[in-house]
Amino acid sequence: MRWSMIATWKMSYDGVKKGTFLLKDNKSAKEAVLEAIHEVEKNENYHSVGYSGLPNEQGVVQCDAGFMDGETLQAGAVGALEDVVHAVDVAYECSKGRFNNVLVGEGANEFASSLGIKKETMLTKESYEKYLQRKKEKLPLSSYDGHDTVGMVALDQQGHLVSATSTSGLFMKKKGRIGDSPLIGSGFYCDDEAGGAAATGVGEEIMRGCLSYEAVRRMKEGMSAQQAASSTVYEWTEKMILKKGYCDAISLICMNVQGEVGIGTNIKFAFVCADENHEPQVYVAIPDGKDIILRAYDDHQDHLD
């Protein structure tokens, strides 16, 4: 059975490399995705996910994450989680039960503690300095222009799909704000009968259209992964422009049950993918009307996470 993996942003490259080792070794998509996201969450150089994430307007790092198993459709999520590096692990644990699959704020924190997860200070010196600088630069406080959620979809050799996300969300967000990343069907979705998807960008824009579910629905109806991804983002962008005059950043990764991948975006967007015939590689997607232009990432030309 073919295996495949795709992830948002250049920062996912090392994680995807680790994930592909597991998939090659006939490990599950769950194991591959969790290991790959861990690699991003623990890296202090990435300020939009996990440790060293940029804080909310009160100087507190609050993380969101989601996990979905395409075989069982079990899904879990956490929002506004504090003092936990691997938020995706807590989301995964939430997915196991019949109830209480989505936990936020104090409830999410207490659940993480009940699992024996060690509390860690998430705000590093560098991210705190960025916070202080932003407070000086802009009043009233506003969110920054980057929305670099790590989202992943993987297909294992048993034919099972997993989709997951992790993010520290918008810089200078309101306390308790969550975006699309922990919302099932918006930031992530997967179904072994159709495919999987994950989103990154402005959560308020993505959640209005439940875009990950919409892309998976289109694959189930017969669209290729690329058709589903690009048409979902293009049509939603056009609708938002018609409704309110503009559309914020949206990017979507998709994978069908054959392991074929697709990209939809309304900005210049970097992603990583690999399968049994291709080693992990960073690519850039550029919107071109209804189409997407794809090319290999160039360190000298591209300045994306």
Of the residues 149, 165, 200, 237, only one is catalytic, namely 149
Distance CA 31, CA 141 (A): 39
* Residue 8 annotated to the active site: no
Is-contact 162 27, C-beta < 8 A? Answer: no
Q: Which two tokens stand for residue 58?
A: 């009160």
Is-contact 61 55, C-beta < 8 A? Answer: yes
How many Cβ atoms are within 10 Å of 58's Cβ, its own excluded? 12
Distance CA 178, CA 133 (A): 23
- The closest alpha carbon to 38, from 67, 15, 17, 8, belongs to 15
Q: Tell me how far apart the terminal alpha carbons of the chain are, to the nearest angstrom.
A: 31
The DSSP letter of residue 173 is P
Half-sphere exposure of 185 (CA within 13 A, CB side): 7
Q: Which two tokens stand for residue 36?
A: 């790959």
Is-contact 70 190, C-beta < 8 A? Answer: yes
Using CA atoms of 57, 82, 182, 115 in order, give the dihedral in degrees to the nearest 10.
-170
Active-site positions read 149
